[in-house]
Structure 1
Amino acid sequence: MQTILNLFTQTYFYWLLFGFFLLAVIIRDVFIQKSHTITHNFPIIGHIRYWIEKIGPELRQYIVANNREELPFNRQERSWIYASSKNENNLQGFGSDQDFNSPGYIFIKNAMMGFNPPKDHFSKKNPGVIPAAKVMGTFHNRKRPYRPHSIINISGMSFGSLSAKAVESLNKGALQAGCYHNTGEGSISPYHTFGSDIVLNIGTAYFGVRDIEGSFSMEKLLEKVNSLPQLRAIEVKLSQGAKPGKGGMLPGSKVDAEIAAIRGIEIGKDAFSPAFHKEFNTIPEMVGFIEKIADATGLPVGIKSAIGRLEQWEELAKYMNKTGKGPDFITIDGGEGGTGAAPHAFADHVSMPFTFAFAKVYQIFQREELTDKIFFIASGKLGFPEKALMAFAMGADSINIAREAMLSIGCIQAQKCHTNHCPTGIATSNKWLQSGIDITLKSERFYRYHYTLVKEISEITHAMGYEHPCEISMDDLEFSMGDNNRTIAISKALGYHKTKIEFDGFEKIIKCDHIGGIGSRIHF
């Protein structure tokens, strides 16, 4: 009896304590706080409303939304990446749940009898590996031209934006996969140097290759080139799909001693990336800057940009045709890109999505008969077989992936990249949140995702009757025109045919002296 009485007394005490807590909340909301009308008028219910609003994205992601309707990546896409990266079953049964009549739906045209590689064929001995068909830097006679080992590579994501463990995981995974790792504009960190080929991204702030005044320093660049033989190309970033023409800022709270040393900036101060370069303002000046870097380093030099107005692209193509000088490669970033935090208007409305952007720029260089001389890199949610194949059909020579790579090492699309509170430790400098990343495991997961993606691209290419994705034409894919039972070849929808690429088989590629880099584990 005494035990029951004690239990009742304790329970009564806790309920009384809870009642006092609720009363305190009501008093605070009604008489003290002035910020929120909802909690003033509805003290308890108002807090529940704000709590539900806060976890709304998670509720929609896991409970409300169906498999195909989420953005930027729906559940089906994320599940495919997760399963591929974990070497689990990524197949689907009982047919497709896609609406084949939805406008813009992609149809890939398989051959009656596809390309059946012999037992000793390269793709049989090296599943998950497809080297690029073209070489960067041969047209301009660079001293160290470069043919990427892989048609799928890691796009620019800076250390500082991504955590140290995330960058290291991707770099070690890239070494296993044989792909290159673009540094992002945050420059080369120690976490980029575990063996994979590197493409150095030079942004508007010239991080890592700047002098004390913040101007570009050729001396600093040459130090990196001479000390890192796996540094194979340089990408001058004009803009990116997430926020073209906006620039960027790394908060001072994230600029610790390590990041400051890598970027060449002051500890604890906001690191601003200007909207535009100060080393050049015109097309001839930009080409001069590219040629200066290429002459000094011997490396292929390219540009990366989101696409909007086309006048300057037309000027660049004409200038290249006239002078024989210019970028060795062009990375076209679709407006749907998203690894950089951005104001919603920039993210949602500034620059064209990949399909329109690539088609318009490619045609400009095609008119000047330059498309066989430039290496085209495509970027913008293309880390899936069907989307990658569309990009190759349109004229891309390789594809850069960013968010898909993040998903493969554990990103859950929490969309907190800009808050420093990424729950998976991938996009944060918080040491505790990073501590859950097992680098050995995550690097293997990126490798498995990359392997699966390239292998499926290869298998579909063979089903279409080709040996290499570069052979796919724009008549080999069609868009649905809606529920009128009509389709249209993407050549007609986009208004051009890509320039045919000379491809004499894998045997010629693997004997080429320019293939791959010192940093890769894959040697042909």
Structure 2
Amino acid sequence: MDSILTFLGAITWWQWILIFVVLVAIKDVFFNKTHTIKHNFPVVGNLRYFLESIGPELRQYIVANNREELPFDRIQRSWVYASAKNANNYEGFGTDRDINETNYIFVNNAMIPYVMPEKHPNRKDPYFLPCAKVMGLANNRKKPYRPASVINVSAMSFGSLSARAIASLNKGVKKASAYHNTGEGGLSPYHQQGGDIIFQIGTAYFGIRDENGNFSMESLKKLVEDNPSIKAIEIKLSQGAKPGKGGVLPGTKVTKEIANIRKIPMGKDAISPPYHTAFNGTQGLIDFIEDIAAETGLPVGIKAAIGKMDQWHELALLIKQQEKGPDFITIDGGEGGTGAAPPSFADHVSLPFAYGFRDLYKVFKNHDLTDKIVFIGSGKLGFPSKAAMAFSMGVDCINVAREAMLSVGCIQAKSCHTNTCPTGVATQSKWLQAGINVTEKAERVNFYFKNFRKEFIEVTHACGYEHPCQFTMDDVDINLSDQDFTKTLAAAYEYHKVEVPFEGIRALQKCKYLGGNYNKKQSESSINKEEVRY
């Protein structure tokens, strides 16, 4: 034994390296059965796979310029980060955007901006910007709801996102008086940190299903009764990243806690089918909406990515004839998506937000239904200029997902589907999410939403309006082509939005249906906050 140790001790560091290289070469040539490169170029061939593995990081931080990356470029991410930190989110020396590129947005400012009266609510609270419409009021729901913020958290499930990320988002929206959509994964304790909740019903009915996986109205009623923070219910028909496909939460992410919340087996893939089993057809959807509204008293809406329009025409006609149906519609753009999706779906199935919303809004406008429905836009709208475009087209609120993730600390690593998210935002790894300080990240979520609203109010005032609901299709221009290079949205998309009734911000402030912290009668969640585990 002593002689062996003496021999090993005599080996120099460069000889150890040589031995390692020889062993790797032997492995590559004689034991590698899958990679031709490694077999034909032992040792050196491994460098190819290493560089490929860190390629996204190299491109993101070294190769790509400030405006080149997708889905969000470096300037966009920096604006969210700075806003979330309540730091300087300005840029100097003018824009570095190519303002001649196709689909570039120009917001038309007024010669003389809007001047706030001395006692205007925004003088005391520069972040106050509620929705101009009330969900459920037109359909006489028992508990109408006016979102206290025009920007809110889109559907992201606990399971897809980590416990600490969900808790940070909900604590943040409580501070910012926004609402938080649960996603289809059910209502977790981490959603119950005091923020308003939109509970989403997906095709698998997670959290409100019976032992056979079917929808249970009794479970939904009990959930709503036990959790007064739930202000509305959204039925997800499809989502932008993969409409018509459904979803899969890998078994590696299905912990005991997630299994209990979703009412599914632990450790097995949680599969959401592409269609609902609780109803059939367009009339069945309307009846399902009305049944839920009658049993819970809450506004009920639908979410969908937009493609073919025939069933939307049918839905609008039935709503007009029967005077019942959804209280709100969330239009998800095909460019959206926080989780995983096959490239064929993410890249090609469903229309981008602007085209999808244009087609759907025209249908409901032609049936004189726009005053009965709150339109919610989703799909990379978490920037004031994009929000101005969306409101000009007829949106009443916007939902943000990835932008909210960025405010929590997401770095766009694009590993949401691998359970290895380096920032702990989209993983169930206890180690990786341990780095999320919930109190600090909640404050960043709060400041992102507040600073977004403040800047959006400033853009609105620059255009001569008090509230973004007053934007028209003539207030935003868009680059099209060389011959007709710039047109208004009205000329490009060939419609005008219907005017939203608006009596002033002060009237919205006094609305008894206003959600968020502005509603002094808002009940606290029944969950004991001290029992919530991070």
Normalised to the residue count of structure 1, the TM-score between the two structures is 0.96
Matches within 5 A, 1:160-171: 160-171=159-170
Supply the distance in 1 between the matched residues of 2:125 and 2:504 (Cα, whole angstroms): 15
Supply the distance in 2 between the matched residues of 1:44 and 1:150 (Cα, whole angstroms): 57
Residue 438 (structure 1) aligns with: 437
Mark the runs of 5 or more structure 1 residues left unpaired by the alignment: 1-8
Supply the distance in 1 between the matched residues of 2:388 and 2:211 (Cα, whole angstroms): 45
Residue 27 (structure 1) aligns with: 26
Which is worse superposed, 97-106 or 194-203? 97-106
The Cα offsets for residues 291-319 of structure 1, whole Å up to 9 and x where unpaired, read as: 00000001000000001110000000000
Deviation at 1:62, TM superposition (A): 0.5
Conserved 8 A contact 1:256-1:267? yes
Matches within 5 A, 1:29-68: 29-68=28-67
SS of structure 1 residue aligned to 2:465:
coil
Residue 530 (structure 2) aligns with: none
Residue 268 (structure 2) aligns with: 269
Deviation at 1:497, TM superposition (A): 0.2
Q: Does 1:342 align with 2:347?
A: no
The Cα offsets for residues 449-500 of structure 1, whole Å up to 9 and x where unpaired, read as: 1111111000000000000000000101001235668410011101100000
SS of structure 2 residue aligned to 1:16:
helix
Matches within 5 A, 1:279-358: 279-358=278-357
Which is worse superposed, 476-485 or 277-286? 476-485
Matches within 5 A, 1:324-403: 324-403=323-402
One-letter amino acid of the structure 2 residue matched with residue 433 of structure 1: L
SS of structure 2 residue aligned to 1:219:
helix
Supply the distance in 2 between the matched residues of 1:68 and 1:484 (Cα, whole angstroms): 26
One-letter amino acid of the structure 2 residue matched with residue 339 of structure 1: T
Supply the distance in 2 between the matched residues of 1:84 and 1:207 (Cα, whole angstroms): 34
SS of structure 2 residue aligned to 1:372:
helix
Deviation at 1:129, TM superposition (A): 2.2
Q: Does 1:462 align with 2:445?
A: no
Which is worse superposed, 244-253 or 157-166? 244-253
One-letter amino acid of the structure 1 residue matched with residue 152 of structure 2: N
Deviation at 1:93, TM superposition (A): 0.7
The Cα offsets for residues 95-123 of structure 1, whole Å up to 9 and x where unpaired, read as: 11111111111001111101011232111
Residue 4 (structure 1) aligns with: none
Deviation at 1:340, TM superposition (A): 2.5
Which is worse superposed, 477-486 or 504-513? 477-486
SS of structure 1 residue aligned to 2:218:
helix
One-letter amino acid of the structure 2 residue matched with residue 39 of structure 1: K
Matches within 5 A, 1:125-524: 125-482=124-481, 486-517=485-516
Supply the distance in 2 between the matched residues of 1:155 and 1:481 (Cα, whole angstroms): 30
Supply the distance in 1 between the matched residues of 2:519 and 2:76 (Cα, whole angstroms): 29
Supply the distance in 2 between the matched residues of 1:393 and 1:111 (Cα, whole angstroms): 15
Supply the distance in 2 between the matched residues of 1:103 and 1:243 (Cα, whole angstroms): 26
Supply the distance in 2 between the matched residues of 1:67 and 1:330 (Cα, whole angstroms): 35
The Cα offsets for residues 254-294 of structure 1, whole Å up to 9 and x where unpaired, read as: 22221111111122222111110011121001100000000
Which is worse superposed, 58-67 or 473-482? 473-482
Mark the runs of 5 or more structure 2 residues left unpaired by the alignment: 1-7, 523-534
Structure 1 485/301 Cα, relative in aligned 2: closer, same or farther at 3 Å?
closer
Conserved 8 A contact 1:175-1:520? no
One-letter amino acid of the structure 2 residue matched with residue 271 of structure 1: A
Supply the distance in 1 between the matched residues of 2:505 and 2:128 (Cα, whole angstroms): 11
Deviation at 1:253, TM superposition (A): 2.1
Supply the distance in 1 between the matched residues of 2:521 and 2:75 (Cα, whole angstroms): 32
Conserved 8 A contact 2:148-2:518? no
Deviation at 1:229, TM superposition (A): 1.2
Residue 72 (structure 1) aligns with: 71
Deviation at 1:353, TM superposition (A): 0.4
One-letter amino acid of the structure 2 residue matched with residue 386 of structure 1: S
One-letter amino acid of the structure 1 residue matched with residue 285 of structure 2: M
One-letter amino acid of the structure 2 residue matched with residue 508 of structure 1: A
Structure 1 459/10 Cα, relative in aligned 2: closer, same or farther at 3 Å?
farther
One-letter amino acid of the structure 1 residue matched with residue 394 of structure 2: G
Deviation at 1:520, TM superposition (A): 6.4
Conserved 8 A contact 1:341-1:418? yes
Runs of 4+ in 1 over 4 A off after TM superposition: 9-12, 482-485, 517-523
Which is worse superposed, 71-80 or 43-52? 43-52
The Cα offsets for residues 305-340 of structure 1, whole Å up to 9 and x where unpaired, read as: 001110000000000000001100000000011113
Supply the distance in 2 between the matched residues of 1:50 and 1:241 (Cα, whole angstroms): 32
One-letter amino acid of the structure 2 residue matched with residue 57 of structure 1: P
Aligned length: 515
Conserved 8 A contact 1:235-1:303? yes
SS of structure 2 residue aligned to 1:455:
helix
Supply the distance in 1 between the matched residues of 2:221 and 2:337 (Cα, whole angstroms): 31
Conserved 8 A contact 2:177-2:516? no
How much identity, in percent, do the aligned residues show?
58
SS of structure 2 residue aligned to 1:148:
coil
One-letter amino acid of the structure 2 residue matched with residue 469 of structure 1: P
Supply the distance in 1 between the matched residues of 2:88 and 2:508 (Cα, whole angstroms): 33
The Cα offsets for residues 179-215 of structure 1, whole Å up to 9 and x where unpaired, read as: 0000000011000111111000000000011111111
SS of structure 2 residue aligned to 1:43:
coil
Which is worse superposed, 266-275 or 199-208? 266-275
The Cα offsets for residues 213-232 of structure 1, whole Å up to 9 and x where unpaired, read as: 11111111111111111110
Normalised to the residue count of structure 2, the TM-score between the two structures is 0.94
One-letter amino acid of the structure 1 residue matched with residue 314 of structure 2: E
RMSD: 1.6
The Cα offsets for residues 391-450 of structure 1, whole Å up to 9 and x where unpaired, read as: 000000000000000001100000000000000000000000011000011000111111
One-letter amino acid of the structure 2 residue matched with residue 43 of structure 1: P
Conserved 8 A contact 1:136-1:375? yes
One-letter amino acid of the structure 2 residue matched with residue 41 of structure 1: N
Structure 1 502/361 Cα, relative in aligned 2: closer, same or farther at 3 Å?
same
Structure 1 11/201 Cα, relative in aligned 2: closer, same or farther at 3 Å?
farther
One-letter amino acid of the structure 2 residue matched with residue 135 of structure 1: V
Residue 118 (structure 1) aligns with: 117
Supply the distance in 2 between the matched residues of 1:260 and 1:63 (Cα, whole angstroms): 41
The Cα offsets for residues 7-58 of structure 1, whole Å up to 9 and x where unpaired, read as: xx98961110110100111111112212111111111221111101110000
Supply the distance in 2 between the matched residues of 1:240 and 1:110 (Cα, whole angstroms): 34
One-letter amino acid of the structure 1 residue matched with residue 201 of structure 2: I
Conserved 8 A contact 1:385-1:457? yes
Structure 1 381/416 Cα, relative in aligned 2: closer, same or farther at 3 Å?
same
Deviation at 1:517, TM superposition (A): 4.9
Residue 3 (structure 2) aligns with: none
Supply the distance in 1 between the matched residues of 2:232 and 2:425 (Cα, whole angstroms): 26
SS of structure 2 residue aligned to 1:331:
strand
Supply the distance in 2 between the matched residues of 1:200 and 1:107 (Cα, whole angstroms): 36
Supply the distance in 1 between the matched residues of 2:108 and 2:521 (Cα, whole angstroms): 32
SS of structure 2 residue aligned to 1:332:
strand
